[in-house]
Structures are given as C-alpha cells and as structure tokens.
C-alpha cells in the first residue's frame, strides 16, 4: 500500500524551515506536517543512532534527523546483538495497540481443556488462507491454542466481506455463524452494535495488509496460514521471549 512515507523517504524534507534553537520534537513535527497536515505523530524519541529520532505514526516507525531535513525508512540492525531494533519497536507498538481490543470484542475459539497459548488473528471471511486456517480449528484447540479473531475485511468498510463479518458478529452463535460463513454459507445481513469497523482500523494501525495475520504474544507477526504444529512452535518461542524480557526488567 502506497503512502506518503514511501514518497517522502526518497528525498529531503525541504520545507522544514526552523530556528536552530527549536526543540527536535517541534522541528520534526513541523517537518512532517509540511508533508501531510493531517499526519498523527504518536511519539518522538531518540533513536539508537546519534542525530536520528525515532518517530512512531499509526502502523509505522520511521527515523528523522534532528534538523527535520531528512527522513529514513528502514530497519536499524544492532550488529553485535544481531537484533532488528526497528522490528523490536514495532512489536512493542503492536502489543500496546492490541490492548484496545479486549477479549470481549473478539470471536474466540477456546480449547476445551487448558489454555496454553493465545493468539490474535486478523481474518477475512472470504480469504482462502483464512478458511484453510479455520478448517484446522479443532487441531489448534487440541494443542491448547486459543484463537481470537479480529475482523479485517480486506475490501474495506461497506464491502460484502464487511457485511458478512457484521452478520457473523451479530449472530447469537458467533462461533457457529463464523464457521458456516468461512465454509461458504452466506450469514445474511443482520446488524447490531459491533466492533468490525474499529477492528479494521486497528488492523491498519498495526500495518496489516493481508489475511490471515497472526499477532503473537511478543508482538511479532506470522503472516499467512501456518499449520497447528508450526503455530505451536512459534508460540512457545514467542512466550519464552516475553518471559526473558520480563526477567530482564526485574
């Protein structure tokens, strides 16, 4: 998906005319506003590289020089530690954003026994790989994996896929309605107060461009269909990383 960042990243933010005594935050905000007056800047903080500032906007992390002249889009790699610091930051942002959609606003397929793992899945009813993933729901659940669906109708708000998502959500049996819809049965046009549009917008903030997109407990993503075995392995590794990070902060 093209956006103003892809255009801006190739050139100089020439219109940022600021005084040398201005704070970097003010300089950078002014520069970005000169590119897009409607841009929402969520946070500005010093980047790991001297002279660069990390800027978070909905769904993205970019870097801007303190004087507001240059914008860099790409990853910062910590060579000694072999860490992608940019992706690490994106993962942190995803975890924070997902908290905006509590379990009460998700269609959840819960294991009958112990819940060992939980994973949020952005899904589209008409997506082939989403349907393939859903066919194996019993196998995910048998491994103790709880699948928590958030709707991301790729065709957008008001589309036929959006209608099906709303109708499934508004059904008295959400799990049953969604399962039938993913099997090709039209769920109808029932409506009610629902979180589908906000979930679609949340997916955009997280940088979701395709479905299914699985967001793991550590904030990293697994795009596309993954088998029950593959997902279990990814979840075990993700949760180990979360535990290790928690130990560091003690």
Q: List, in order of start, the domains of the chain with CATH numbers.
A: 4-85 (3.10.450.70), 98-248 (3.40.30.10)
Residue 250: the pLDDT is 64
Residue 40: the pLDDT is 87
Q: Among 181, 175, 106, which residue's Cα sits nearest to residue 138? A: 175
> Which helix (H) or strand (E) segment is 61 a member of?
strand 60-65
Residue 22: the pLDDT is 60
Coil/strand/helix, residue 243: helix
**Strand pairing category for 117-123 and 145-151:** parallel
C-alpha 195/C-alpha 150 separation (Å) is 9
Phi and psi, residue 120, nearest 5°: -90, 135
Residue 214 near residue 233, CB atoms below 8 Å: no
Token pair recorded at residue 6: 């892809």
**Residue whose token pair is 């935050």:** 25
pLDDT, one tens digit for every residue, the chain (250 residues): 445 454 444 444 444 444 444 688 899 999 999 988 988 898 999 999 999 999 998 778 999 999 999 999 999 999 998 999 999 899 888 988 898 899 999 999 999 999 999 999 999 999 999 999 999 999 999 999 999 999 999 999 999 999 999 999 999 999 999 999 999 999 999 999 999 999 999 999 888 989 999 999 999 998 889 999 999 999 988 888 777 777 676 6
Residue 121: the pLDDT is 97
**Strand pairing category for 117-123 and 213-215:** antiparallel
**Strand pairing category for 83-84 and 77-78:** antiparallel
Angle at 183 between CA 181 and CA 184, to 5 degrees: 65
The model carries a pTM of 0.81
Asked if the bond preceding 212 is cis, omega within 30° of 0, the reply is yes
**Residue whose token pair is 């892809």:** 6
Q: What is the DSSP letter of 12?
A: B
Token pair recorded at residue 39: 């841009």
The residues annotated with a catalytic role in the active site are 124, 127, 130, 154
C-alpha 137/C-alpha 92 separation (Å) is 28
């Amino acid at each position: 998906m093209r956006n103003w960042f892809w255009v801006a990243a190739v050139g100089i933010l020439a219109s940022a005319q600021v005084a040398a005594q201005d704070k970097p935050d003010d300089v950078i905000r002014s520069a970005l506003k000169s590119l897009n007056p409607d841009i929402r800047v969520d946070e500005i903080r010093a980047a790991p590289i001297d002279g660069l500032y990390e800027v978070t906007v909905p769904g993205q992390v970019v870097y801007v020089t303190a004087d507001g002249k240059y914008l860099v889009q790409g990853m910062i790699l910590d060579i000694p530690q072999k860490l992608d610091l940019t992706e690490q930051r994106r993962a942190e942002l995803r975890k924070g954003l997902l908290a905006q959609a509590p379990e009460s606003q998700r269609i959840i397929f819960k294991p009958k026994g112990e819940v060992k793992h939980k994973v949020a899945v952005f899904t589209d009813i008409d997506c082939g790989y989403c349907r393939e993933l859903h066919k194996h729901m019993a196998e995910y659940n048998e491994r103790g994996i709880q699948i928590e669906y958030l709707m991301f109708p790729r065709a957008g708000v008001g589309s036929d896929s959006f209608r099906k998502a709303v109708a499934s959500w508004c059904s008295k049996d959400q799990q049953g309605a969604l399962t039938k819809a993913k099997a090709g049965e039209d769920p109808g046009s029932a409506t009610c107060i629902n979180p589908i549009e906000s979930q679609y917008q949340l997916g955009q903030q997280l940088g979701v461009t395709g479905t299914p997109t699985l967001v793991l407990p550590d904030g990293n993503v697994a795009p596309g269909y993954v088998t029950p075995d593959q997902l279990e392995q990814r979840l075990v590794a993700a949760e180990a990383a979360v535990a290790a990070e928690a130990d560091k902060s003690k």
